[in-house]
Structure 1
């Protein structure tokens, strides 16, 4: 009996020892011991296309030529009667026709590669020049120089190209017309009018404001011009309903287009010489 008990105790001891030596169950590796994942390759962001070059504002940056145009505000309408009592005159606003901008564009076209800037000025700035107070002695050039110097301000352009109105007599009459306009006389056929564009161009030194000498023409140019149309600053319209009110002038496509065409032809012919300073 004693032997059986000893045998049972020995057997239990062996079983307990075997259980203590059993290896632990295998588990999945933890996240901390897992092999590091390869970093995701970031795709390079597509390069932005360079923005299209923006035109440099004509009102900023260096200025080689400043343009002051004072011809596109009013349009003169002159009807010359048989006697002084039949004379009629009026003015109409034509800023909407873009005449001054046309002059600036023509200067730019005549001076490629040159920094050209339109010089703005207050409305009515040229009124004292065109309609000055009566003086015993008046120097037109001095008055214009003072006005241009004031308008130029701090623009610091190398030179200034200035367009101003000119006043001329209507052929065969004692009446006159100024700048851009249209006229007819009592003997004109019905529907006929004459569009005119009379103006002056002066070039000023940007530092001293001395007026440059007007371009000279060769002897050949003078001879050639004597055989050309001496009325190259006029255009006859044979289908014009002569305007009676300023509104009719402003809204007339015929007068607008004829004036712009006449002005463009003159500028294309004479402006390049002023720009080149010949």
Structure 2
């Protein structure tokens, strides 16, 4: 019986591995067949201010408008530059606020089986239709220590009895959505840029520099956020096999 159990476990593991390999090959072949793409970006209209750990009673997350930073326009420009050459990138019109309003997603391993809230938005709110695929870049979430979720672009502070830790973050995820069936071909959250530092988020982030300033009008703060996005976007695209390794 023990031998049969071991054989069954081995057979099941092999089937899972083969299934994963087949799914990867299917996604890779579908991406390979893409010729025309459009880019949607909806992460940069506001910046969150979050405190976690030992915080004062009743402390709540806050947000500040940063639409003047034009982060989404910058992301579309950078994504176009990265993808142009392999794909024909076409400009889109879409309701950015509709994409930004979807806020219930958490940074997690790729899961293409669950229903995806962005599929219908691409189908109904994006023009022109008929492209081979649409690249959709939206906010993602991550846990700050064992405390609150942080989301998208923001500043986060985590307090302990011994020290305070500050992070600036730009958390996002990228979807490749089929332009005919509107299935999600691939989805991936941008990964951390390095593994150093006391506090870590599951996405692009870095320690707060005293020179950054604490308001949304700080040009250094904007520059730090832009740096996180510009450095992580080519890595994320490469991980998704949309471009060559960076």
Matched residues, number: 193
Report the alpha carbon displacement of residue 259 of structure 1 after superposing the two structures with TM.
0.3
In structure 2, what is the Cα distance between the partners aligned to 1:89 and 1:236? 19
Is the Cα–Cα contact under 8 Å of residues 79 and 184 in structure 1 kept in the other structure?
yes
TM-score norm. by structure 1 comes to 0.60
**Root mean square deviation, CA, Å:** 3.2
Is the Cα–Cα contact under 8 Å of residues 100 and 139 in structure 2 kept in the other structure?
no
Q: 1:121 to 1:234 in 2, by over 3 A?
A: same
Q: How does 1:1-278 map to 2 (within 5 A)?
A: 64-80=36-52, 82-83=54-55, 85=57, 87-113=59-85, 114-122=87-95, 124-126=97-99, 128-130=101-103, 141-171=115-145, 173-187=146-160, 193-214=166-187, 229=195, 231=200, 233-240=204-211, 243=214, 248-249=215-216, 251-274=217-240, 276=242
Unaligned regions of 5+ residues in structure 1, if any? Answer: 1-62, 133-138, 216-224
Higher strand proportion (structure 1 or 2): 2
Q: 1:263 to 1:127 in 2, by over 3 A?
A: closer
For 1:47, the equivalent position in structure 2 comes to: none
Q: 1:242 to 1:90 in 2, by over 3 A?
A: farther
Is the Cα–Cα contact under 8 Å of residues 180 and 198 in structure 1 kept in the other structure?
yes
TM-score norm. by structure 2 comes to 0.67
In structure 2, what is the Cα distance between the partners aligned to 1:212 and 1:141? 13
For the pair shown, the structure with the greater C-alpha radius of gyration is: 1
Q: 1:85 to 1:71 in 2, by over 3 A?
A: same
In structure 1, what is the Cα distance between the partners aligned to 2:238 and 2:40? 16
Match of 1:69, SS state, is strand
Unaligned regions of 5+ residues in structure 2, if any? Answer: 1-34, 106-112
In structure 2, what is the Cα distance between the partners aligned to 1:252 and 1:240? 10
Is the Cα–Cα contact under 8 Å of residues 82 and 243 in structure 2 kept in the other structure?
no
Is the Cα–Cα contact under 8 Å of residues 65 and 115 in structure 1 kept in the other structure?
yes
Match of 2:235, SS state, is helix
